[in-house]
Structure formats: structure tokens, C-alpha cells
Amino acid sequence: MQKFILSRKNHITLVSAILIAIGFVSKLGFKNEAIAVWALVTASVLGVAPIAIQAYQALKVKVVSIDVLVTIAVAGAFFIKNFEESAIVTFLFLFGAFLEQRTLNKTRSAIKELTEMAPESALKQMENGEFEEVDVDEVDVGDILLVKTGAKIPVDGTVLSGEGSINEASITGESLPVSKEKGSNVYAGTILDNGTIQIVADRVGEDTTFGKIIELVEEAQDSKSKAERFIDRFSKYYTPAVLVLGIIVWLFSRNLELAITILVLGCPGALVIGVPVSNVAGIGNGARHGVLLKGSEVIGDFSRLDTMVFDKTGTLTVGNPSVAEKEYYGDNIDEALGYLASVERESDHPLAKAVLEEIGETSFSPVKNTEVVKGGGITANVNGHRIAVGNAALMKREGIQLSEKAKTDMYRFEKNGNSLVMTSVDGELKILMGVRDRIRPGVKEDLLRLKRLGVKNLVMLSGDNQGTVDVVSRELGLTEAHGNMLPEDKSAYIKKLIDERGQIVAFVGDGVNDSPSIALADIGIAMGSGTDVAIETSDVVLMNSDFSRLPVALGLAKAIVRNMKQNIFIAIGVVLFLLASVFFSEWMNMSIGMLVHESSILVVILNGMRLLRYKLR
Amino acid sequence: MKKATIYLETLICPSCVQKIENAVKLLNGVDKDSVKVLFNSSKAKFDFDDEKLSVEDAEKAITALGYEVIKSQVK
């Protein structure tokens, strides 16, 4: 019976709406009091049934819930024969709950979409060699699986055979397909756009990157900040307090109408629901765009950030050096480039790799009498020419005369933060190349956005020499930049910022060798392309190593906090307004109170929903 | 001690959370401190002694309050 009534709540709401309409039409239109009373009484009884059942269940487990307040209020209204009030209040309460369910589902939709992307089945190779469809839970590490076009990759694994392109948006937020072949890693929850591949399962279920992301997001959406825990504790006593207040008012004023009005007006609701709603919508929005925010405590700290500390290599810069500038002197440059490439081909120096990449296709010649000059470069004999490749010190040792132009070029290259690679052929300087680690494209604009979002200090820490660090710092307009730093120096520096200068500090790193700094900072941000370490140690994860997500993440955190504050403000404002009007105005009654109350809940949910559409401008 | 996760119908009022939390806490064999009802993900998580209680008992207690149980997981 109870179950039947509760499961028909929506029908009851509809019927009670019709009855109320009949009641008012017959009363105002046909002046037929008898039918009106009959309709309104039926509507009240019908409407209060599910609420009363819930109230009874709540009391059984020692909770004074809103249902209890409403049930008592309706009973009171019945007692004083105010059937209009009792009918309308029950209807509004039920209808409000219906709308809340609808809208709340919307705010949770982003995260739900994400969890629904989890793979459910897999084609597993059985002992007879055939592939059979099994539940994804039945896949173990080491199993061989077949994935066809359009299917989801069921587990994290390695491609054994076949090739195809995969949409990895569920992991990286980036929907450009990535091509995969034998030996490539594939991730659970990503979709094979075309091709057919066989994979061997490396990690299954909750251990997959996708499984971890889901777990993290699910935990984040319900994690509570200090403020929320306070509201929770508060609301535990608030509802019983309203009940007591109602009773006191009734005892003293003997005015039952006033007492039950207070019960309805005092319902919490907007306050307890406002913050979780902002949270879930905001975190959902981030997750959809490759930004994982780990819970509301993190969001709060992140939004109040003073200082952002960056690791240089791999974070602000691309991480592999390349030729940034070059100058040629004299004739026969193509020949000289061929000699240079031939010499560099034999070296495993990081600069050599950059030089070879720059030259590209060329004709190689056999290299003889190679001599490596420590701290200088290489000398060798190619096609009977004496070739020297190295820095200024080597050129000096070779006794090479430098033109005025070459000298100014060298000065300029060095000032721009380059390491020099000079090439001489038979004692004459032919090629000057400046090699440096390039700044990631777009980083400068992103840093500017961060500044506009209110980050006061942008600090760079690097293991590189101070000269290179200064150049990058100047180019990016950073506040501070420190070179020659070991990982432990970096974490010590962050500790100093937090303890001595009292700042709220975020550290942005690649998440592998920076883990101490990431753990130590108030907000650790890993630019992991979905690496486990990054996901576990940091507070904010930027999937796909995409630096441009950083300002988006900060903007989103600020928007979430703003949204929460608005919701708290609305909720408290409404309660104060209602209480004030019940004591100081004539027009306030139970029905209006319930209407305002339910509307305020809808307003905070709708306000929270705005976060689903948030974009950084 | 086992860990249970019960997936519930979409929870809409925070007081539902309190009700379910109390109902589960009142069961014999449940570790009271471990009970967590997650509002947004509509899940109840708790540790329990499987000699004193089965997860079906907990499901029953929640259904009795008028909330639908979708599925449950015990580990």
C-alpha cells in the first residue's frame, strides 16, 4: 500500500491539481461551496498521503524531515477547516519535488554521460580461438580481445595486430582521432572510429585510466567542503528547531494558523541543496572538457589562488630542443649542411638531434678521423674537408676568424636563450644555428588569461641555467624565475611561499618527477596525458597535457564558487524574507510561503545549471 | 568486514540522505562511522559484518523508507 502510494506520486500530483481547479471553479464560478469543499478535502487527503508516509518513515529512523513539518502543517490547516490552504500546500510540495527531480537530473547529466561511457561488453578470445561476447567484468589481465569499428575499447591494453583510429575524447577531452597500430596503447572507454584491432588487456575495470577518472569524479561531486559540512550539521538541528518554534508560537499566541504557517516557511531546502548543485554541475562541466577538479575543498582553494608556480621543461616549453634561429655565411651552403648532417649523425648529443631534424633530407658523406672535443664539439674529416661542429670555444681552438656580422649574430642568438652550434669548413665559418627549447604555442596568451583571472604571481622554477630561464621568463612576462633548481629545491621554495609569505600556491608540473612539489602545494596540478601518477597525486588534472585548459580550470573554479555564494545568498535571503513577512505583513500565508519556498529551490537549481554551459571568455 | 555500495533512485532532497543514513546506521552489524550516503551520485556506501547482516537486509531497510534500490555491490 505504502509502496503503491509512493510510486504513484506523480499521478497523485496531477489528480490533486485537477481537484483544486474544480474546487476553485465551483466556488468562484458557480458559488457552489459544497462541491468546492468536497474537491479540496479530497485533494488534501490524497496529496498528504505520500508526504505523511515519508514523514512516518523518517520519524521511525529518528529524523525530523521536511515531510514531518509539512504533514503537521496540513493537519493543522485541516483542523481549522482551511481546506484551500491544505490542498494548495500539498500540491505545491509534490509538484515542487517533481520539478526538482527533473532539474536535478539535468545538473547531474554531465557526470552521468561520462559514467555511461563505461564499456559494458568485450569480444574475448576463448580457448578454442574464437571470439565471444562477454561482460566486461569477465575480462582478465592478459586476455586477448577483438575490437571492431564503432566499438568501445573495453580495457586498457596494447594493440597486438591490426590498425585503426581511435577517438579518445572520453580520456583526453580531445576528439581528434588518434591512429593506433601494433604496440600502441589503447584506453578503456575510447571509441574505435575505424579499423579492426586485437588487443591484449593490461589493466581492467577500476584499474583502467577511465575507471580511475570515473571514481575520482564520482567522489569529487559528493566531497564536502568545511562550509558544506557545517550546513549539514546545521540543517540536522534546523528542522527540529522550526518544529519547536512552531509549537512555542502556538502555545503563546494560541494562533494555530500562524504556527502552521511558520512550519511551512521554515522548511530548509534551498540552503542544503544550493551548494551540492553548483558542485555537481561545475565538476561535470570540467570533466567533459578534460579538466578534473577533485572536490569542493579544492575548488575553494583554487579559486582564491595567489601564486602559480610552473615547472619549465615540458610545462611551459615543449621539452625537446629545436633549432630556433640560423644564419649562413659564404657560398656552398648545401654542401656544408650535408657535412654538418654527416657529422651530427654519428653523435647522440641532444643538440645533434635538433640539428638533424632541422636539416631534414640531405646527402650524407662518409666521416673519417672523428674527434670529440670535451666541452666544445666534434672535429672530423669529410670528403677531404676539415669540419668542426661545436660552440664558440671550439671555433677559437680551430683558429677560425669571425666576421663582424657573425659576432653580432652570435650575441643576438645567445641573448635569445639559444645554445650555439657553429659549423666551419676548412677553417671558415659557414653555418650558425641557435638551438633552444621552444615555448609551447599559446602559453603566453594563457598566462595572460591567468593574470586576468586574478593570479598575482607567475613563478617559474627550472633545473636549467639562469640565463635560459631568464630569457623564457622575459618572453612570457613572468613575475619570478629561478634556475639551477633540483626537485628538492623546488619543493623547498614552494614551502617557503606557503609558510613565510602566506600565499595560496598552485604548482603546475608534468606529474612525474615533480610529485613532491605537487603534493606540497595547496593545489597540485598535473599536466598528465592520463598518467596514473598524475591523476592520483594532484588536485586538478589537465587531461591531454593541454596548457590552454589551465585558465579554463581556474575560470571554472571561480565560477563554481561564485555560483555557490549566489545560491547561499538566495537561500538565506528567502528564509529571512519569509520570516519577516509572516510577522510584519498581512498577505503572507501558508500557500504563498510554500510557493516562494519551492520556487527558491528551483531558482538555485537553475542557477547551478548555468555552470553546465560555462565557458571561459 | 565487507564493503557495500547500494545504488539508489535519484535522490532529490538532502533530508532523504539523512533518513537513509540513519536507517542504515540503525541496522545491527553495520559500522556506523563508515555509513556515507552520496547525494549527487545517489549511492549508499558502508562497511558491515557479513555474519550479522546481509546486504539484502540493508536494501530492505532502504526500500521500507520508500526509496528504490537499483542494484548493490559487495566487496
Q: A175: pLDDT confidence band, cut at 50, 70 and 90?
A: low
Radius of gyration of chain B (CA): 11
Residue A218 has pLDDT above 80, yes or no: no
pLDDT (mean) for B5-32:
84
Name chain B contacts of A232, Cβ cutoff 8 Å. 14
Length of chain B counted residue by residue: 75
Lowest mean pLDDT, pick from A288-302, B5-19, B38-52 = B5-19
Chain B CB within 8 Å of residue A269 CB: yes
Domain span including residue B58: 2-74
Mean of the per-residue pLDDT values for chain A?
84
Structural contact between residues A303 and A540, judged by C-beta atoms closer than 8 angstroms = no
Q: How distant, in Å, are the alpha carbons of A27, A368, A373 from that of A388? A: 106, 12, 10
pLDDT at B14: 67
Lowest mean pLDDT, pick from A168-177, A460-469, B43-52 = A168-177
Lowest mean pLDDT, pick from A253-267, A434-448, A489-503 = A253-267
pLDDT at B21: 87
**Could you tell me the pTM of the whole model?**
0.74
Q: A174: pLDDT confidence band, cut at 50, 70 and 90?
A: low
pLDDT at A531: 57
pLDDT at A558: 93
In this structure, what DSSP letter does residue A325 have? E
In this structure, what DSSP letter does residue A316 have? I
A-chain residue closest to B38, CA distance: A222
Digit-coded pLDDT (tens) for A528-581: 654 566 677 788 888 777 788 899 999 999 999 999 999 989 988 888 888 888
Residue A598 has pLDDT above 70, yes or no: yes
The CA distance from A582 to A330, in Å, is: 93
The 3-state DSSP class for residue A418 equals coil
Name chain A contacts of B66, Cβ cutoff 8 Å. 2-3, 6, 53-54, 57
**Over pLDDT 70: what percentage of chain A?**
96
First to last CA, chain A: 54
CATH number among 3.30.230.70, 3.40.50.10420, 3.40.50.12280, 3.40.1110.10, domain A319-438: 3.40.1110.10
pLDDT at A261: 84
Other Cβ atoms within 10 Å of A132 Cβ, number: 11
Q: A585: pLDDT confidence band, cut at 50, 70 and 90?
A: confident
pLDDT at A472: 84
A404: left (phi over 0), alpha (psi -120 to 50) or beta: alpha
pLDDT (mean) for A146-158:
89
pLDDT at A506: 92
Which of A6, A61, A235 faces B14 most closely, judged by CB atoms? A235
Q: Indicate yes or no: CB of B10 within 8 angstroms of CB of A53.
A: no
Find the DSSP H helices in A538-609.
549-584, 590-609
The 3-state DSSP class for residue A397 equals helix
By the 10 Å C-beta count (0-12 exposed, 13-18 middle, 19+ buried), B45 is classed as: middle
Topology of domain A118-151+156-203, per CATH?
2.70.150
Name chain A contacts of B22, Cβ cutoff 8 Å. 61-63
The CA distance from A584 to A366, in Å, is: 100
Structural contact between residues A47 and A94, judged by C-beta atoms closer than 8 angstroms = yes
Q: Which comes out higher in pLDDT, residue A495 or A212? A: A495
pLDDT at A513: 66
Highest mean pLDDT among A126-140, A338-352, A498-512, A552-566: A552-566
Segments making up each domain of chain A, as ranges: 118-151+156-203, 289-317+442-556, 319-438
Digit-coded pLDDT (tens) for A294-321: 888 888 889 999 999 988 777 888 767 7
Q: A430: pLDDT confidence band, cut at 50, 70 and 90?
A: very high
Q: Indicate yes or no: CB of B15 within 8 angstroms of CB of A100.
A: no
Catalytic residues of A: 311
Radius of gyration of chain A (CA): 35
The CA distance from A268 to A266, in Å, is: 6
Q: Indicate yes or no: CB of A53 within 8 angstroms of CB of B66.
A: yes
**Over pLDDT 90: what percentage of chain A?**
12
pLDDT (mean) for A142-162:
89
Residue A464 has pLDDT above 80, yes or no: no
- Structural domains counted in chain B: 1
Residue A176 has pLDDT above 90, yes or no: no
Predicted ipTM of the assembly: 0.81
Name chain B contacts of A51, Cβ cutoff 8 Å. none
Other Cβ atoms within 10 Å of A235 Cβ, number: 18
A-chain residue closest to B36, CA distance: A222
Q: Which comes out higher in pLDDT, residue A371 or A266? A: A371
Q: Tell me, what amino acid is at A275?
A: V
Which of B19, B39, B40 faces A57 most closely, judged by CB atoms? B19
Residue A268's contacts (CB-CB under 8 Å, 6 or more residues apart) are A66, A235, A238, A239, A575
Q: Cell for A145?
A: 580481445
Cα angle value A607/A608/A609 (rounded, 5°)? 90
pLDDT at A583: 76
Which of B14, B23, B39 faces A61 most closely, judged by CB atoms? B23
Other Cβ atoms within 10 Å of A594 Cβ, number: 24
CATH homologous superfamily of A289-317+442-556 equals HAD superfamily/HAD-like (3.40.50.1000)
| CB interface of A with B, residues 127-166, below 8 Å | none
pLDDT at A307: 92
Chain A CB within 8 Å of residue B64 CB: yes
pLDDT (mean) for B44-66:
85
Mutate to test the interface with A, among B11, B15, B37 (most CBs of A within 10 A): B15
List the CATH number of the domain containing B63: 3.30.70.100
